[in-house]
Structure 1
């Protein structure tokens, strides 16, 4: 992008191009061509304010016949093998803003949309993204949550009869950080990276609580990402990873395998700090 900017849009600063890329996603028309046209830049805000979940769902599978406004919010990402595609929000910024807007104006419709985990089809990624945002708000808001420890060799029958426990989390202000020094210089916060750059960790609470939001049945652990966060936290002696899931996923959610940097399943993590992690599943009741 920056090579194109330097050659054709030198009047657009690097900082502005990066800022617009973070908002719009990879849309050259708005990141470069119309970067300095305020009327064009307002179109994203207008699309977010007028967001309609029914229109978004209608867009899935029928992009040619959908509203152009929706196209600014939802993009099609093609897999590396060019054989499949997924529908994603244009950017993390868009996802955050859409969640906030819907939570304020159409909360019940939002909750109903993200509560569906079975048969999600092509809307699965969008649902998962909105569930993650909602789960962050619930965890940071504090409360007592049902949880269950996950064991590597637990059978399905054992899992269904496992003793459920509870964890009480205090209300915490959220620190959406872009610099790890912000984490090291603060305490008593609910920490979320500004960009999802920690594989297998969506948020954490000092000194030792890690959270991974998922509405899927399986969510393998990336040991590199876990190691990074544990080092950031000073390698706590008893780290705990909570898989935060919708209530209907809770009972059958199983121990998650570990993967190396190449995506290969590992019998056991190679990092000493990751080996210390205890896995739990934590339920979020979307109807309460």
Structure 2
């Protein structure tokens, strides 16, 4: 648990990246129901925002790979009607930087590419969408977020693009913010920041990642696996205790 200098605010985080990864693996092994319930239950909890974001990212990637019809709306042209994005069932591929240079859409018509390295500051994953003939046609730059304000690093986006193969760069590119249902309607176009911000032109969209309707209690979450109890500290009101 992390607190600010005045001990008036706190937030819950994983004890380490390895602990977070193992907890996510266990949650997926048991099924996504508990994970989806927690993401829904923790909406509006600043102390759980960091933990919620980590868990939602894994859930979003899982559900996108499972495929289906997802609600989406244009952020660049907010007057346009909400539509559905049809995503086929696809493979999730964890990739190294060097792998991205080798991927050819001619052999891979669809797939979700998730960089192993956390040095992609503007993109969490790359989703290859096929056309009606199964040929790769679009490259969605996925940014998963649980925050209404999610500024984009212009230089970070440019760096991410340079790591792609020539074939991937040739696909139509769009930026998609994958958000939970509580953010979908209110999410707005995000601003680029940095010296290169005026050189970036890319259409932005919001895509809703559906969650289960039933909420989960904190006790149920902590009991999912002993690793959670070992690697995390339950949230307490430190402002009152101190």
Structural RMSD (CA): 2.8
TM-score (norm 1): 0.60
Deviation at 1:169, TM superposition (A): 1.9
Matches within 5 A, 1:113-132: 113-116=38-41, 118-132=43-57
What secondary structure, in the 3-state scheme, does the structure 2 residue paired with 1:88 have?
A: coil
Confirm or deny: 8 A CA contact 1:96 1:133 kept in the other structure. no
In structure 2, the residue matched to 1:217 is 148
Task: Report 1:190-209 matches (<5 A).
Answer: 190-206=112-128, 208-209=139-140
1:254 aligned residue (188, 210, 231): 188
Q: Which of the residues 182, 190, 197 maps onto 2:99?
A: 182
Displacement after TM superposition at 1:117 (Å):
5.3
CA offsets, 1:45-73, max 9 Å, x none? xxxxxxxxxxxxxxxxxxxxxxxxxxxxx
How far apart are the structure 2 equivalents of 1:148 and 1:245?
12
Q: Helix, strand or coil: the match of 1:243?
A: strand
Matches within 5 A, 1:134-213: 134-151=59-76, 162-178=80-96, 180-187=97-104, 188=108, 189-206=111-128, 208-213=139-144
For structure 2, which runs of at least 5 residues remain unmatched after alignment?
129-137, 214-242
Contact 2:33–2:212 (Cα < 8 Å) also in 1: no
Answering whether residue 202 of structure 2 is matched by residue 269 of structure 1, we say: no
Contact 2:35 2:59 in 1 (8 A): no
1:115 is paired with a residue whose SS is helix
SS at match of 1:200: coil
Taking the aligned partners of 1:105 and 1:140, their CA distance within structure 2 comes to 18
Q: 1:231 aligns with which of 146, 150, 162?
A: 162
Q: 1 or 2 for the larger relative contact order (CA 8 Å, sep ≥6)? A: 2
Distance in 2 (CA, whole Å) between partners of 1:228 and 1:80 is: 34
Q: Structure 1 pair 174/80, CA: closer, same or farther in 2 (3 Å)?
A: farther
CA–CA distance in 2 between the matches of 1:79 and 1:197? 26
Change (3 A) 1:126 1:84: same
Please identify the structure whose Cα radius of gyration is greater.
Answer: 1
Deviation, 1:215, is: 1.2
- For the structure 1 residues 230 and 82, does the alpha-carbon distance in structure 2 shift closer, same or farther, using more than 3 Å as the test? farther
Q: Provide TM-score, normalisation by structure 2.
A: 0.70
For structure 1, the residue ranges without an aligned partner over 5 or more in a row are 1-75, 262-267
For residues 158 and 30 of structure 2, the distance between their equivalents in structure 1, rounded to whole angstroms, comes to: 39
Contact 2:142-2:177 within 8 A present in 1 as well: yes
2-structure distance, mates of 1:201, 1:191? 11
State the distance in 1 between where 2:174 and 2:120 align: 16
CA drift of 1:80 comes to: 10
Change (3 A) 1:194 1:181: same
Query: CA separation of 1:107/1:175 partners in 2, compared to 1, >3 Å: closer, same or farther?
Result: closer
